[in-house]
Structure 1
Amino acid sequence: MHLDTQRDPDGGWYDRDIRLVDKEENVIEDFGKDPTLDELREAEHRHRKRINLWQQGLVCYECGNQINDRFAARPDGQILCWECAKSENSREQGGLIINTDPTKSVLSESKLHEKSLCDYVINVATGCRHGCKFCYVPSTPAIDNRDEMLAKHADVDDPQRDWGSYLLYRDDLPERVHEGLQETDFSDWKTTRRGRGVVMLSSGTDCYQDRRAAQITRGCVQELTEHGIPVRILTRSPNVTRDIDLFQKAGNKIAVGCSIPTFDTALVKAMEPNAPPPQARWEALDKLFQAGVPRFVSFSPTYPTMDRDDIREALSWFAAIDPTVVFHEPMNPRGANFQMCLEAAQEAGYVDMAEELFKIREEDKWVEYALDHIELVQDVAGQFENLTIHTWPDRKLLQETSGERYRELRKMKKEVSPETFESDPF
């Protein structure tokens, strides 16, 4: 299945019809002139096939040059060549500043193998519409060292404070992943004991936060899994269920998970202002369960006001969708994001939460809370036959403990999550 271009003999360079044809050149779908990127990506979804958009006769909506290499799209979906895309001004759409991400890298090595998550990451965008107050991403080099780029392309003054207000898409990632994999020497593929050569989408944004991000994600996942590369998907969005067909085809090459730190909807609204409610995320996991897709839960961060009953309630919901693993971490008070959590709790009227967050700014109080929650989650999970908890204790916790507790934490830190990934190329 590929695109076919038919020029109008009585027209000019721009007068060309774009059609989708099969191997026998039979027309599957006629897009007419100037199909949008959304229309082309949704055709991929409908027909369950990848359509490589490079060198397919598509032309830039602005300058008319043929799309033979990198490209992007305007907010209305019109396709732009890379030169036009780089000069495009940011635009406001649905309360967000939208533009193109100029990032050159496609696949990045990651230290998340330390948490048994992956060895590589792919991020489909820079920024995230969810705007989670506790998000650590704006303090990482991927955001923190790009102030000039974010100011130029998204009018960002403070990447941390403005988190949730800007989103720069990487529309041509599927094509770039495809090209990169053709040249990959898999004998050099990084495969650590805990990372297992897995590629994670996404560590720095939600790869299903909207349809445009989901379209990019589908293309990347399809390319990776068809090359036998194991993939982990982490999201807060029910949009993830749109690709169940792709996940089923990938089999044990994929693990799909949702972040659900609590089922307190009002608290989630305060801390994750633009993210879908926790129940909707659980329902997405339930659909994955019913479809037989390997799934996991990210139970993090657990808030200091959560007691045994709160944790038992959450774990009982998780047990119902029979996850391979539940990843757990308590909250960490370092960074500007923690202050934003404290402010959000105060503004939402969560007095007890604000007080507890204020307390754990002191290191000894944080250590006490973090150790208590790690033990509590492990203990309560023991009441469910089908729950395995994977906790990655912060390095500081090991420094503050000794004896049997230290040995237990060190063992947790070295463990590999119980998932089984199938990988062909290595």
Structure 2
Amino acid sequence: MANESHTYTYPKTILNKGSGYLSGYSHTLNPYAGCSFSCSYCYVRQMPISLFRQEQWGTWVDIKQDAAKLLRKELSLAKRKGAVMIFMSTSTDPYQPAEYKERVTRSLLEAMVDEPPDFVLVQTRSPLVRRDIDLFAQLGDKVRISMTVETDLEHIRKQFTPEAPPIAARLKTLQLLADAGIPAQATIAPLLPSSGRFPKLLKPLVNRVCIDDYFMGDGSGGKRTRKIGVEAIYKRLGLEDWYKPGAYRIVYDRFIEEFPEEQVYISQKGFEP
């Protein structure tokens, strides 16, 4: 994104307590603050980290320095207290463009290879995740990659997330993860309008699918998303029927025709360890 500002920060801690929607996790981990993918529907736009910032969401990224050093120390302490289950990331994409140069996420994964948590879920929509297949292989069944693929329709993706990576590149990445034997799921969250061929596209790539929407998944029953005004995009496209609490059933029903029911998860269940 043009005119994006990068700031280097020195956080005092890197692991945060998991709670609420992510109560199945002991900790959350965000390599960056801010996210240049700037998705129109991102609930983080309505969170304090964004609301109290003078700059527009998507135009700034804070790069956490000494993140891996902090994590090594905090992981060691946390493991003494019990199982360590990490969700990375909750309010940023760990593989957004800044990661190409800064490699904060990679350094955190290297720390986890040396001091493995019991489980880490890596949530991203970026094909850059393929770069770290070597580290995921070392983590084995302690890791799962959750690749956001909200739709199979590239023209729809462009309307809602013009700064995000193309759908085809994400599907290719899921194929590479599968070829490397890395545990992965396709996360249709928040689900956008899609076609009937979507399940067939994903079937050869994953054996686990998570479907979520604004009403179940934004942490406020859809209120945060309403404040953002994303409904206007649906109206402009004449797709208002997709912006309803029951719309997820369209996608769910299509997927259970193609996938075994136990491989298709709804909302929170799909993100659990």
TM-score (norm. length: structure 1): 0.56
Shift in CA distance, 254/138, structure 1 to aligned 2, threshold 3 Å: same
Pair 1:139-2:37 in alignment? no
Task: Tell me which amino acid in the other structure corresponds to 2:206.
Answer: D
Q: Post-superposition shift, 1:416?
A: 7.4
Tell me, yes or no, if the aligned pair for 1:270 and 1:345 is still in contact at 8 Å. no
Q: Distance in 2 between matches of 1:185 and 1:98?
A: 30
Tell me, yes or no, if the aligned pair for 1:134 and 1:337 is still in contact at 8 Å. no
Task: Tell me which amino acid in the other structure corresponds to 1:291.
Answer: A
Q: 1:379 aligns with which of 241, 253, 258?
A: 253
1:188-242 per-residue CA deviation (whole Å, 9 max, x = no partner) reads 23x5xxxxx4212111111011253661111111212332212111111111111
Tell me, yes or no, if the aligned pair for 2:39 and 2:161 is still in contact at 8 Å. yes
- Residue aligning to 2:61: 167
Alignment of 1:149-298 (within 5 A): 150-151=53-54, 156=55, 162-182=56-76, 184-189=77-82, 191=83, 197-210=84-97, 212=99, 215-229=103-117, 230-298=119-187
Q: Post-superposition shift, 1:186?
A: 2.2
Q: 1:321 aligns with which of 205, 211, 215?
A: 205
Shift in CA distance, 103/121, structure 1 to aligned 2, threshold 3 Å: same
Count of residues in correspondence between the two structures: 264
Tell me, yes or no, if the aligned pair for 1:125 and 1:205 is still in contact at 8 Å. yes
Alignment of 1:24-43 (within 5 A): none
Q: Post-superposition shift, 1:179?
A: 2.7
User: Structure 1: which 4+ aligned runs deviate by more than 6 Å?
Assistant: 416-419
Task: Tell me which amino acid in the other structure corresponds to 2:62.
Answer: L
From the CA coordinates, give the structure whose radius of gyration is larger: 1
Q: Post-superposition shift, 1:163?
A: 1.4
Shift in CA distance, 271/223, structure 1 to aligned 2, threshold 3 Å: same
Q: Post-superposition shift, 1:318?
A: 1.6
Shift in CA distance, 345/381, structure 1 to aligned 2, threshold 3 Å: closer
Tell me, yes or no, if the aligned pair for 1:248 and 1:293 is still in contact at 8 Å. yes
Q: Post-superposition shift, 1:273?
A: 1.9
Q: Post-superposition shift, 1:370?
A: 2.1
Q: Post-superposition shift, 1:245?
A: 0.8
Shift in CA distance, 279/390, structure 1 to aligned 2, threshold 3 Å: same
Alignment of 1:61-140 (within 5 A): 94-111=2-19, 114=22, 118-140=25-47
RCO greater where, 1 or 2, for CA within 8 Å and sep 6 or more? 2
Shift in CA distance, 372/266, structure 1 to aligned 2, threshold 3 Å: closer
Gaps of 5+ in 1: 1-92, 157-161, 192-196, 361-368, 393-412, 420-426
